[in-house]
Structure 1
Amino acid sequence: MTDDPSSRYAGETPINLPENRRDAEYYSDAFVEFLGRLDVDYVFLLPGSSFRGLHDSLVNFGRNHKPKLIMGIHEQAVIAMAHGYAKATGKLGVCMIHNLVGLMNGSMAVYNAFADQVPLMVIGGSGPLDPAERRWVDWLHCANPQSEIVKSYVKWSDDPVTGQATLDALARGAKIAMTQPAGPVYVTADCGVQEQKIAGSLHMPDQRRWQAGPPVAANPQALAKAAELLLNAKLPLIVGGRLGLNPASTAVLTELVELTGAAYQDDLAMIAFPTGHPQNLSGERKLVHEADVVLAIDCRDLASLLNGYTNDRTEVAQGRDKAGRTVIDLSLNGMAPTSWSYLSSSQAPIDVQLSADPLFGTQQLTDAVRQKLQSNDALQASVKSRKAIIAERHNALRTRQRETAKKDWNSRPITPARLVSEIHDAVKHKKWQLAVRNQASFPEGVWQFAGAGDYLGHNGGGGVGYGPGAAVGAAIAARDAGRFCVAIFGDGDYAMYASAIWTAVHYRAPMLCVINNNNTWGNDERHQIEVAKDRNRPRENAWIGQRMVDPAIDHATNARSYGAWAAGPVTEPDELSKVLLEAVKQVESGRVAVLDVHTRL
């Protein structure tokens, strides 16, 4: 084999190793062996001396294969990569972070994963625990305990002090992270322990005995009551939430929606149901106030859902406890760990609580509904009548949404609705997956989703900068699964961690990245407009301290410096389809394509 590293970059294959892998010699070797047994495909990292032993073991003991190293250029992006990969695959995402400095850099990304209930294991290099072994810089980087930084927003953490204890912590942490409701865990790996030779016997945990348990089932009496309420409602509404990450959810949800004759809506920043299904009324914001029975399945913020996710502070509390509306909650939210933040602190009144695994509970509820419908002609007729009415509303709603998307179609700057429509037209015949999208500017009803697994959802905790890293993690998963990865970024979100593009290019993870670039922190500029309006002050000044101009960021040139194909800024509406066609061809050839499109606020 040649010694020229450039010939080995794509696979990053280690050289000059024994023909057969030897038994673990160091504790860090054992840690890598156990990660492989846990079926961990990748470890996302930014290099750091506090896990140099682990790094060496991944390469020279594990041969950089299962798990394979994926390197990023900032800790927040690295953790977001593991986050995006976990959502795309349903598997445990694993990343390694360098002691205090790395963890402080990446802490926002840990909070995002916590809020998003994503199974993630953060392994933090630390120490040495023995003060006699610490260099001067180690004193700056050590803490007791190091996990204190993120304890308030992980499911579990441990700071083990021996090799065996670290192995045991990895086993326990993996199980806790994957147990529903899922979430991140943090395990420190002392650098001194990593580099110790294994002395005496070492017990390797049996990974088969450290798996998440079977799904939690709902109470039979509560199921029967929920089924009766749904079937006897005048206008029942079913809302699907985080189960939209599991492709198996769509068929189960579809059967329940059709059996009950209910209207359906996807929860905020989730997709679990076919856009074109005649009972899908996603985008009809006032529907939750019309419904007399609302079934929320795995929805992260029930209180906000019930008030229609209003942005008007004067209306926030008004819709939560609407008279005459019955609320059924099917989730494990009550079992989710709490945080020192107000995450999930907003309370909603619940009439029937179905505490169950969302998918399994939905299957149970479907069975209960089917039983009540048997030989009940009156209920069956009522369901049929509701379905016909809802189908008419669906057709009218989708017509309005298409018309709204066409408004100002040829305007400059380009409307976000046209941008999204053109992207969809360019990829609709591909086996696509939408990893990231703008939430506020994404037009409902335009993009045709087949159901769960087509879109990977929001960042969870509101941390801007999530998009590029998460998209790269999703692109790696899409590459392995043969899917076409698409990401639509806001320009601020993208600019924060554009360096993640290098990782996608380096590891040959093709994806189409489109920057919805309004050259401003759009959400905050709208807030300034609102405040100026309320105070009777000039709205014309809202852009100051918001616009990213003079100079405008040259995103295309920046992306090319990371090795991507790039074009833009695209400013003419009629140029969009042609440039997108070329970008799609580039992705199909195995490249990362970045397209910068100037849009209106």
Structure 2
Amino acid sequence: MKKGSVNRRGFLKGAAAGAAALVAKPAAQAQAQEATQTRPAAVVPNAAQLAAETGPPRGRVERIVENPGSDFMMDVIKSLNFEYITTNPGSSFQGLHESIINYGGNTKPELLTCCHEESAVAMAHGYAKIEGKPIMALLHGTVGTQHGSMAIYNAYADRVPIFLVIGNHMDAGARPPGVNWYHSAQDMGAMVRDFTKWDDNPASLAAMANSSIRAYRMMMTPPMGPVAIVIDSEMQENGMPAGPRPRIPKLTMPSPPQGNMAAVREAAKMLVAAQAPRIRINCQRAARTPEGMRLVTELAELLQCPVNGNGERMHIPSRHPLAGNGYQAYPVDLVLDLEVQGGGAAPANAKSISISSLDLFIKSNIRDFQPLSQADLAISGDAEATLPSLIEEVKRQITGDRKRVFEERGKRIGEAHAKQREQAIEEARYGWDSSPISLARLAAELWPLIKNEDWSLVGWQGFIGGWPGRLWNMNKHYHYIGGQGGGGIGYNAPAAVGAALANRKYGRLSINIQTDGDMNYAPGV
């Protein structure tokens, strides 16, 4: 127990006793006032009822625990180095809530209260895509979990890590009467099990520590995704068990799975020999970090081949000559798919290579795995982790003659890219003077105002025609963080808040062009 925690618990005890003493006064006043009033024709709230709404809360003298289990839970949470916890407060985690504030000092993590659980989880979603690491979202029982489920699903489909902690009144003998029975469940994690990477319901503090470390490791190992730990209210509020304090396991992160080296060499051979290769990339999985974006760009430059992304997050600078599909009638004969679900569909007569970790983690119910891959060479492994060895193998196999062929190919692709950019500028002029203002003009007018700033587009550009990506110079990983992942509306506004929170420490300007329909789903950000 940290120094000063006895004083804190003593304060709570005194506050509870004081509240109990105050209860009598409003009740006595209510009785006297009710006796002197003439009953009106219409029934209106009496003084006692009004006092219940506006007066001091009815005091509850609870047991006083000076070293509760929630303090140990706070130590576990601090060991995971979260910056923030987003939550809509609820009774099922009131013990942990109190420990966050008083035992943990409300720092690392700092508690951020939200108006809705969907907003709380979506904030964590946006934050992780900027910072590259998760924060924690704290949910109340069945109702909080259901409210947050849409945002959890979006993060799952987007392969974004979020550490979920869900409160539960597990013990029926200790469960408070009334509504808490509706908010409790035998298997709380079942509601989100189909779209979380892992969940657990630990029955002891030692198990909670072990499960939390395990969950963090699983969450951050590609393919990433949200995890959930359910914590019982009694385990939070009861005193620490007698005996030695439970041990918090050391957090050691495993290396991401890499593709088989023999298969990587074969992939390099096919790429070097191809006449018109193209890289096709699922951006949120294959270039999830700045290093991933750098590696994709390096491979494209080595091969002088076009890179076509799915428009979600950055994978290559938007004005890079190799960005896009290549020149008109580019005769694709080989496609390299990086984390593309189902391997995608290669053009007729073209061969394909797939590097993906998605087959390493598939669930039966959610059909996000897409059609079965038809790749000619399938490599199981994290694409970002496999790219360094693929790049080195391509370098080793390139000859002087092939390099000259690549350079000529790259020149033609670059010329086509420049024409596509000119075409985008021309198309942006259509309806320039229309009212309401066109989306293209909105993006075009905004660009001169931000181009000299350190900026970050933190909202999905799919709602605005993709115009920022066509007109702005996006060359940093944080310049665009993509969209919902699972197509669930209500993501944009709260995710933008979370991303802006992450950008704040870097002094970046965060930009979200918010659409009204999406805003109406989750307005209370």
* 1:295 corresponds to: 336
Tell whether 2:466 aligns with 1:442. Answer: yes
Alignment equivalent of 2:322, drawn from 237, 257, 279:
279
Q: Summarize the alignment of residues 203-282 of structure 1 with structure 2, pairs less than 5 Å apart.
A: 203-207=246-250, 210-240=251-281, 241-242=283-284, 243-281=286-324
Deviations 1:188-223 (A, max 9, x none): 11111100111122323233xx33301222112211
In 2, Cα distance between equivalents of 1:37 and 1:128: 26
Question: Over residues 539-575 of structure 1, what are the superposed CA-to-partner deviations in whole Å (9 max), with x where a residue is unaligned?
Answer: xxxxxxxxxxxxxxxxxxxxxxxxxxxxxxxxxxxxx
User: Does the 8 Å CA contact 2:170/2:186 hold for their aligned counterparts?
Assistant: no
Does residue 383 (structure 1) correspond to residue 425 (structure 2)? The answer is no
Deviations 1:97-148 (A, max 9, x none): 0000111111111111111111111100101424344322221111111111
CA contact (8 A) 1:228 1:372 kept: yes
Task: Please tell me whether the aligned partners of residues 34 and 204 of structure 1 are also in contact (alpha carbons under 8 angstroms).
Answer: no
Find out whether 1:397 has 2:438 as its counterpart.
Answer: no
* Alignment correspondent of 1:199: 241
1:437 to partner: Cα distance: 2.3
Q: Output the amino acid matched with 1:327.
A: S
Shift of 1:66: 0.5
Matched, 1:171 2:208: no
Corresponding letter in the other structure for 1:193: M
Q: Secondary structure at the match of 1:327?
A: strand
Could you list the per-position Cα deviations for residues 460-517 of structure 1 after superposition, in whole angstroms to 9, with x for gaps in the alignment? 11110011111111111000222111112221111222221xxxxxxxxxxxxxxxxx
1:355 alignment counterpart: 380
State the one-letter code of the partner of 1:273.
Answer: I
Q: Equivalent residue of 1:188, what SS?
A: strand
Aligned residues: 460
Using the TM superposition, give the Cα deviation of residue 454 of structure 1 relative to its aligned residue in structure 2, in angstroms.
2.0
In structure 2, distance between residues paired with 1:133 and 1:44: 25
Q: How far 1:163 moved relative to its partner?
A: 2.0
3-state SS in 2 of match to 1:465: coil
Amino acid at match of 1:228: K
Deviation per residue, 1:246-295 (Å, 9 max, x gap) = 1122322222111111111222323211112111126x7987x8421111
**1:195–1:74 Cα change, 3 Å:** same
How many angstroms apart in 1 are the aligned matches of 2:331 and 2:459? 31
Which residue number in structure 2 is paired with residue 93 of structure 1?
A: 135
Q: Which of 343, 354, 358 is the aligned partner of 1:333?
A: 358
Mapped partners of 1:17, 1:429: distance in 2:
50
Of all paired residues, the percent bearing the same amino acid is: 30
What is aligned with 1:495? 520
Work out whether residues 293 and 316 of structure 2, in 8 Å CA contact, stay in contact via their aligned partners in 1.
yes
Cα distance change, pair 302–415 in 1 and its aligned pair in 2 (3 A):
farther
Contact 1:235 1:263 in 2 (8 A): no
Q: Deviations over 1:298-349 (max 9, x none)?
A: 334643xxxxxxxxxxxxxxxx354311111122111123251221232231
| In 1, Cα distance between equivalents of 2:385 and 2:163 | 25
Structure 1 unaligned regions, length at least 5: 1-13, 19-23, 304-319, 501-601
User: Aligned pair 1:411/2:434, yes or no?
Assistant: yes
The answer for the alignment partner of 1:550 in structure 2 is none
Q: Is the contact made by 1:301 and 1:346 (CA closer than 8 Å) also made in structure 2?
A: yes
Distance in 1 (CA, whole Å) between partners of 2:429 and 2:506 is 34
Distance 2:294 2:154 in 1: 29
- Identify the residue that residue 103 of structure 1 maps to in structure 2: 145
In 2 relative to 1, CA 245–436 (structure 1 residues): closer, same or farther, beyond 3 Å? farther
Secondary structure class of the residue paired with 2:477: coil
Report the counterpart of residue 483 of structure 1 in structure 2: 508
Compute the displacement of 1:233 (Å). Answer: 1.7
SS in 1 for 2:352: strand
> Residues of 2 paired with 1:60 and 1:417: CA distance?
50
Q: In the alignment, what sits opposite 1:55?
A: 97
1:435-479 Cα offsets, whole Å, 9 max, x none, are 112315112421211042321111111110011111111111000
Secondary structure at 2:190's aligned position in 1? helix
TM-score (norm. length: structure 1): 0.73
Inter-partner Cα distance in structure 1 for 2:167 and 2:328: 50
Does the CA-based 8 Å contact 1:26-1:196 persist in structure 2?
Answer: yes
Moved more, 337-346 or 109-118: 337-346
Amino acid at match of 1:479: R
* Structure with max Cα Rg: 2
**Structure 1 contact 398–445 (Cα < 8 Å) conserved:** yes
**How much is the aligned-residue C-alpha RMSD, in angstroms?**
2.2
| 1:1-44, Cα deviation, whole Å (9 max, x unpaired) | xxxxxxxxxxxxx9x969xxxxx922111111121111111011
- How far residue 354 of structure 1 moved from its aligned partner, in angstroms, is 2.5
Corresponding residue SS for 1:255: helix
CA distance in 2, matches of 1:407, 1:495: 29
Give the alignment partner of residue 166 of structure 2, picking from 116, 121, 124: 124
Pick the aligned partner of 2:195 from 135, 143, 153. Answer: 153
1:79 is displaced (CA, Å) by 0.5
Greater CA drift, 346-355 or 113-122: 346-355
Q: Determine helix, strand or coil for the equivalent of 1:157.
A: strand
Change (3 A) 1:362 1:463: same
Distance across 1 between alignment mates of 2:328 and 2:113: 45
1:467 is matched with which residue: 492, 497, 503?
492
SS of the residue corresponding to residue 161 of structure 1 reads coil
> Cα deviation per residue 1:361-393 (whole Å; 9 max; x = unaligned)?
1111110100001xx221111111111111111
1:420-431 matches, cutoff 5 A: 420-431=443-454
Asked if structure 2 preserves the Cα contact closer than 8 Å seen for 1:87 and 1:456, the reply is yes
1:177 to partner: Cα distance = 0.8
Task: Give the Cα–Cα distance (whole angstroms) in 2 for the partners of residues 300 and 119 of structure 1.
Answer: 19
Q: 1:231 corresponds to which letter in structure 2? A: V
Contact 2:346–2:352 (Cα < 8 Å) also in 1: no
**Residue type of the partner of 1:261?**
Q
The residue aligned with 2:57 is: none
Which sections of structure 2, spanning at least 5 residues, go unmatched?
10-65
Give the letter aligned to residue 275 of structure 1: S
